[in-house]
A and B are shown apart, each in its own frame.
Chain A
Amino acid sequence: MTPDSPSEKRLEELRDQAWKDGVVPGKGVDVAGGPIPRKPGYYGQPVVKPPVWTWQVPLYFFFGGMAGMSAVIASGAIIFHHVDPSLATNVGVARAAMWLAAIAGAVLSPILLIMDLGRPHLFLNMLRVFKHRSAMSMGAWILSAFGACVVPGLIALELHAHQIFPGTLDQILRVAAAIFIFGSAIFGTLLATYTGVLIGATAIPAWFLHRTLLPIHFGTAGLGSAAALLELLGHRIPALNFLGFYAAGVETALLIWLSVDKHGIADRAIHEHSSGWLIRIGEFLNGPLALVLRFFSFVPFAALSFLIGSLVSRVGWILVGKVSGSDPESVFAAERHASTVFSFEDAK
C-alpha cells in the first residue's frame, strides 16, 4: 500500500472534508438529524396524557348504551300495551328489554367500571360528591340511578306478569312497574349518551373536536344494539325493525359527517392508523351495511352487523384517544387552528 494509492487518497479526502466542513455525511452515517432534534415538540413526547383506560371501558360503553336504550324500548312497549291490550307481544318485548337492561346495566356495567378503576375497592368514593361539571361524576350518579330504577322495575314487572299477588296488590305492582320503567328509561337515555360527553369533554384533540358527534353516535348505537339484540333473542316485531332502520340510518349519516368534518393533523387518529380503521369498520358495519341488510330483510344479519359494528367502533374511539393523546402535533394543531376562541365564561 503506497501513500498515493486510491484508498489512501480517499482517506485523505475525508480528512480534508472533515477539517473544512466540520461534518462528513456518508452512507450509513446519518448526521443530518443530530444533535438538533427534529421530532415535533419536545423529542416527540406527548403533550397531553393518553387515556389509561383498558378493554373494560369500551365494553362498558357498549353494554351501558345497550342497557340504557333497552329501558326506553321497554317503556315504549308497555305504553302501547296499555293503549291497546290486545298487543300481548309487547309485554314479552317489555319483559325481555327489562331483563336486558338489568343484566347489562345493573350487573355488567358496574362490574366493568369497577374493574377499570386503579383501586377497585374504593369504588364507592364515586358517590362521595356530586359534581355537575365532571362527566365522570354525572355518569356514576346516572348509572346508580339507572340501577336503582331498573332492578325494582324488573321485579315489579315480573311479579305483575306472573300474577303472583292478587287484586289491589297486583294493581300497585303494575303502577310501580310503570313508574320504575319510565324512570329507568329517562336515566337510560342519559346512560347511553353521557359516555360521549365523558370523552368529548377532555384534552384529547380527536375526542373534543367531535364532542357533538360522540353523544349522538353512542346514544344511537345503544338504541340500535338494544333493538338488534332483542331481535336476535326472537322478538321479531315491526317496531324493533323500525328502530333498526332508524339507528342504522343515523349511523350512516354520522359516517358521512365524520368523513366530511375533518380537522387535518388535529384529528388524524380518526382517519389514519389502526384506530382509524376500527372507526371506519365499526361505522360501516352499524351504518350502511346494517341498513342494506335490513332493507333486503336479512334482519338477523343486519342485527348482528349492527352489534359488532357498535362494539368495534367503541373500541376504535378509545384507541383513537390513545393515538391522538400520544401525538404532540395533534394537540398543537387543534390549539393553533381553534376556530372558536373560548373565554372563561364558557366554562361556567
Chain B
Amino acid sequence: MIGEGIQSTNQRKHSYVQDRVEVGFFTDPSVCIGCKACEVACKEWNQVPDDGFTWSGNSYDNTGHLGASTWRHVMFLEQDRQKGNQVTGPMGLASNQQPAISNPQSDDPFRWVFLSDVCKHCEEAGCLEACPTGSIVRTEVGSVLVQNDVCNGCGYCVVSCPFGVIDRRPEPLHDAGGAFKCTFCYDRQKSGLVPACAKVCPTESIVFGRLDDLRARGAARVQQLQENGYHDAQLYDPTETSVRGIHAFFLILGEPEAYGLPPKPQIPTIYLKSAWTSALATAIASIIATLAAFAFFS
C-alpha cells in the first residue's frame, strides 16, 4: 500500500482503456493528510477555472463542495469522537488532573478527518440517464464522461445526480453554460496515465486501479482499521440501492451524513414509472372531461 513507490498502481503505466478494464478510485481518509495536492493537480491538468477565493471558516476547507469547477474537494471534519486508539485527555493540565494516558475512552475525544471527495462514477448514473443530448456517456473503463462540445446546458443532470456532484458552470467563467464534473482524467487514461489526483497523492489516500482489486483492498483496509480501534470504519459503496455501487468509493469513519454523503442514494429513474402513470391518467381524465364538457354542456 503506502511505500510501494513506483510499483504502486498510482505510478505505473497501464492499458486499462485499451483492455476495457473497469477501473476506480478508492479514497481512504485514514491516511489523508489534507494537503489538497489532488485539488491542485485536478485544476491544473484539466485547466479548470477558479471559482472564487472565499474563506469559509469551516476548518481548513475553503473549497466547500464539488461543482462545475471543483472536481476534487478535500473535506475537513472536526468531530468529538475518538480516532482509533488515540489517547486524548482533558484540555486543561491542572496539577490535580492527570492526562488520561491509560484511558482510551477519555471524556474529551477529538478527531480531525480529511477525505478527498470526487464524482462517484455510479454503476447506474442519474446524470447519464437524464441527459437529453447524449452528451454524457459511459467510457470503456466504466467511468461517466461529459462531452463538453455536445452539452447544451439544459441543467437536468444537475437535479438528477443523487450525490450533488455535477453542476452548470456560471458566467463569466471559461466555457460557461455547460455541465461539468470529474472526467476521471479520461484523456490521461487513454494514454496509459493515471488520473492526476491519484498520481500526486503523497500518501496514496487516493488509489487508482482495477475496480475489483480496489474493492478487495478497501475491505482489507476496513478490517485492519477495525482491529486498530477504528470501530466505526466502513466502506461507503451503496451497492444495495438502485445506484448499484460506485466506481469511486470511500472508506469513511462514522456515518455518511457527516461527509455530506447520502445514506441511501437512489437513481431518479426509479420514480419514472409512478410519475408517468400519473401523467397518463391525467391526460386521459382531461380528454374525458373535455369531451364530456362539449357533449353535455353545448
Contact = CB atoms under 8 A, between A and B. Distances in A.
Interface of A: 19-23, 35-37, 40-43, 45-53, 69, 72-73, 75-77, 79-80, 84, 87, 90, 116-120, 122-123, 125-126, 128-129, 131, 133-137, 139-140, 185, 189-190, 192-194, 196-204, 207-208, 211-216, 219-220, 222-223, 237-243, 246, 321, 325, 328, 331-332, 335-336, 338, 342-344, 346-347
A219 B58 CA distance: 45
Nearest to A18: B92
Contacts of B293: 76, 238-240, 242-243, 246
Interface string B148-176: 00111111101111111111110000001
Contact of B158 (A49, A140, A193, A214): A49
B90 interface: yes
A47 B94 contact: no
Contacts of B280: 193
B159 A73 contact: no
B99 interface: no
A36 B80 contact: yes
Contact of B297 (A134, A189, A239): A239
Contact of B154 (A76, A117, A222, A246): A117
Contacts of B135: 125
Contacts of B241: 342
B298 A223 contact: no
A342 B266 contact: yes
A336 B264 contact: yes
The 10 lowest CB-CB distance pairs between A and B, nearest first, are: A118-B153, A118-B177, A22-B91, A42-B260, A189-B283, A122-B152, A137-B132, A215-B279, A219-B282, A193-B279
B202 interface: no
Contact of A80 (B124, B126, B294): B294
Contact of B282 (A193, A201, A321): A193
Contacts of B296: 242
Interface in B250-272: 257-272
Interface stretch (B43-51, B71-79, B208-216): B71-79
B152 A117 contact: yes
A52 B167 CA distance: 8
A48 B163 contact: yes
Contacts of A335: 262-266
B289 interface: yes
A129 B124 contact: no
B226 to A, nearest CB: 24
Contact of B269 (A126, A201, A219): A201
B22 interface: no
B274 interface: yes
Contact of B290 (A49, A76, A321): A76
B58 A47 contact: no
Contacts of A72: 286-287, 290
A331 B242 contact: no
12 contacts: A36-B80, A36-B110, A37-B77, A76-B291, A118-B177, A189-B282, A211-B271, A211-B275, A220-B282, A325-B159, A344-B242, A347-B270
A200 to B, nearest CB: 4
B124 A344 contact: yes
Contacts of A328: 257, 260
A20 B94 contact: yes
A41 B92 contact: no
B242 A197 contact: no
Given A117-B152, A117-B177, A238-B298, A43 B270 contact: no
